[in-house]
Amino acid sequence: MMLEPLGIAVAREGIAWPLVDKGKGQYDFSAIDPFLDAQQRHNVLPIWDLCHYGYPDGLDPLSDAFVERFAAYARAAARYVAERAHHGPLCFTPINEPTFWGYMGGEWAWCAPFGKSVDFRRQFTLSLARADIAACNAIREDFPDARFVHIDPLIWVVPPRDRPDLAEEAHRESYEDAYIAWDVISGLKHPEFGGSPELIDILGLNNYSFGQMEYDHSTGPNKPLEPGDDRIRPVADLIEESFAKYKRPCIVAETSGLHGGRPEWLDDMTCECLAAVNRGVDLHGICLFPAVDMQDWHSGEWLHMGIADVELLPSGALMRKPFLPYVQRLHHWQERLKRVTRLDEDPYDEPVDLDDVTRAAAELRPKADADWS
């Protein structure tokens, strides 16, 4: 297990709803047993994604049945992992990136349900938010102390330089559409669905360079801003705005650079996060994604964005190969923030002292910088 020598005791892991839900209230969770065993052996606390895109065949994602079936599955998943948990509390992300999934599946037709309109995207996102709320309530009926991390990307959208008339549309995407799911889950909008600030619990802020974009009213995602564009905003600003809206504890739930730029990306992101802490943001951590490299969704090429790359051996086997400069910068920041650099036999015997992070932020006084990309 590569996380122990990295000093990482918490990891996000997923359960594939379409694969474990066999219908009629029957579930097969055996696929996650190896993960549960590994987590117990290596003292890793999981944050379980219960839906990371995808749902069972034949289910209408805009229907009440979708909401009810997801809540039933979430309850069953929570019971299964609770019976095998080695350390509490139970932590879940009910639906990963519901607002982003709304775009992918509801407007861009990248994945199910393959919608192609703004109206369908908004209906789909509302349905995902309703299902998320129902799942949280179902889990907390059995496990009142369960924690939830609700995750969506940080985004910033600007109008094209030659189209100032699109400023209103860009502003709407940045400040309204980017928050549709969280607004519902927190109860700020559609209170009839039962959302509340306590239910949204913890905000998970995903940040990648392509999250800052130029508005494009054609079909498909907006155009990412190029490095050095003077319209890019400091990430600390975006973190602060999200926190100010909901006033809930938060984490950076996904972030990573590419190839040889990963160490510098970690430096930049850590400084942006510490700058946000100095502004009063209740920020509890950074999750590096992925731990092991992943392939591009469209081309299939390895992206070289993980803590470890994947190397093809002559035998045809795949081997994890930690990217040493990235690991060295991780350990640098762990030491500077008084975090452990390697897990001991009981990494949960003492609570994490976030005052160490607050003190380091005050001492370093990092300046929020738009030149992070």
Predicted confidence (pLDDT) per residue in 183-241, tens digit? 999 999 999 999 999 999 999 999 999 999 999 977 789 999 999 999 999 999 999 99
Q: What is the pLDDT of residue 86?
A: 85
d(CA 69, CA 110): 24
Q: Model confidence over 162-173: pLDDT tens digits? A: 999 999 999 999
Mean pLDDT, the chain, whole residue set: 95
Mean pLDDT for 137-156 is: 98
Residue 358 lies in a domain: yes
Residue 94 has pLDDT above 80, yes or no: yes
Q: Single out the residue of 130, 136, 122 nearest to residue 180, CA to CA.
A: 122
Q: What is the pLDDT of residue 372?
A: 62
Residue 370 lies in a domain: no
Least confident of 69-78, 186-195, 213-222, 271-280: 213-222
Mean pLDDT for 63-91 is: 95
Residue 113 has pLDDT above 90, yes or no: yes
Residue type, 77: A
d(CA 250, CA 260): 28
Q: What is the pLDDT of residue 224?
A: 95
- We report the CATH number of the domain holding residue 164 as 3.20.20.80
Residue type, 63: S
Q: What is the pLDDT of residue 104?
A: 96
Residue 256 has pLDDT above 80, yes or no: yes
- The three-state secondary structure class of 131 is helix
End-to-end CA distance of the chain: 31
- The three-state secondary structure class of 344 is coil
How many Cβ atoms from other residues are within 10 Å of residue 81's Cβ?
22
Mean pLDDT for 13-41 is: 96
Q: What is the pLDDT of residue 87?
A: 81
Residue 369 lies in a domain: no
For residue 80, name the pLDDT band (cuts at 50, 70, 90).
Answer: very high
d(CA 307, CA 153): 21
Residue 372 lies in a domain: no
Residue 69 burial by Cβ neighbours in a 10 Å radius (0-12, 13-18, 19+):
buried
pLDDT > 90 in the chain, percent: 92
Q: What is the pLDDT of residue 1?
A: 72
| Angle, in degrees to the nearest 10, between helices 262-278 and 355-364 | 100
Residue 276 lies in a domain: yes
pLDDT > 70 in the chain, percent: 99
Residue 248 burial by Cβ neighbours in a 10 Å radius (0-12, 13-18, 19+):
middle
Mean pLDDT for 71-81 is: 98
Mean pLDDT for 106-114 is: 96
Determine the structural domain holding residue 167 and report its residue range. 4-364
Q: Single out the residue of 27, 15, 14 nearest to residue 72, CA to CA.
A: 27
Q: What is the pLDDT of residue 220?
A: 83
Residue 81 lies in a domain: yes
Domain count, the chain: 1
Residue 324 has pLDDT above 60, yes or no: yes
Residue 252 lies in a domain: yes
pTM given for the model: 0.96
Mean pLDDT for 257-261 is: 96
Residue 295 burial by Cβ neighbours in a 10 Å radius (0-12, 13-18, 19+):
exposed
Residue 214 lies in a domain: yes
Q: What is the pLDDT of residue 297?
A: 86
Token pair of 243 as six digits: 């926190």
Residue 81 has pLDDT above 70, yes or no: yes
Contact by Cβ (8 Å): 62, 124: yes
